[in-house]
Amino acid sequence: MCILRELRGSVHLLAIVATGMSPKVAHAIRRPDDVTSFGWESTPDISDDDRVRLDVVDELTDRLLVASIEVLTDSQRDAYVTGIEVIGAHLDC
């Protein structure tokens, strides 16, 4: 699970940089209470354009991750989906 989380996190950071979005702004939108834990002293101003750009980042992240799933066989893909569903059923989010 940690490897899958790190994979998605790394691809997401790539998508942030590739779209020209500031990592500080991206973090501030998603985790506004944690800006200082990422090393920034203050929360930046967030615009509507920043929120739209983060939607673009999310879409790019998903598109980039498809390649890592496409290489799986049908049975591997089924196992992957089942595993994600089981884990999701136990999360409080």
DSSP structure string for 33-56: GGTGGGT-SSPPP--HHHHHHHHH
Cβ distance 69 to 77 under 8 Å?
A: yes
- Spans of the chain below 70 pLDDT: 93
Give pTM, 2 decimals.
0.80
**pLDDT given for residue 38 in this prediction:** 87
**pLDDT given for residue 6 in this prediction:** 94
For residue 80, give both structure tokens: 């992957």
CA–CA distance, 76 with 54 (Å, rounded to integer)? 31
Of the candidates 1, 24, 6, 20, the one whose C-alpha atom is nearest the C-alpha of residue 65 is 6
